[in-house]
Amino acid sequence: MPVTKKTRANGRKPPFAKRAEEYQTLKERIELSPEELADWFQHAPRTERRYKSGNGEVPQPVLILLRLLSTGLITKKQVMRASSTPEA
């Protein structure tokens, strides 16, 4: 069996493959860059790669936010405003 993004060398899917697929679909639908996500959630680029590969569990709050963005209930601008660090 050839090794693909969806399977490992042992033929099994990554542990969080289902969440990874939803994450990638939502991210593409709302045209969200890895840099924007890293900024909003303050995580490293490696975390993004783990989410995409299914080797890292996408946190439920991240999926909820992406679902809200994809349905238009909230906008990128609103998320950016909410995620910015308040001035001291």
Q: Please indicate whether residue 36 or residue 65 has the higher confidence score (pLDDT).
A: 65
Nearest residue to 27 (alpha-carbon basis) of 43, 7, 42, 48: 48
Global pTM exceeds 0.85: no
Domains in the chain: boundaries? 17-79
CA-CA-CA-CA dihedral for 33, 57, 82, 73, to nearest 10 = 80
Nearest residue to 57 (alpha-carbon basis) of 24, 22, 16, 21: 16
pLDDT at 5: 53
Is the confidence at residue 79, as pLDDT, over 70? Answer: yes
Q: What is the pLDDT of residues 7-64, one digit of tens each?
A: 556 667 787 889 999 999 999 999 988 888 888 888 888 888 888 888 889 999 999 9
Alpha helices, H only, 1-88? 17-29, 34-41, 45-53, 60-71, 76-83
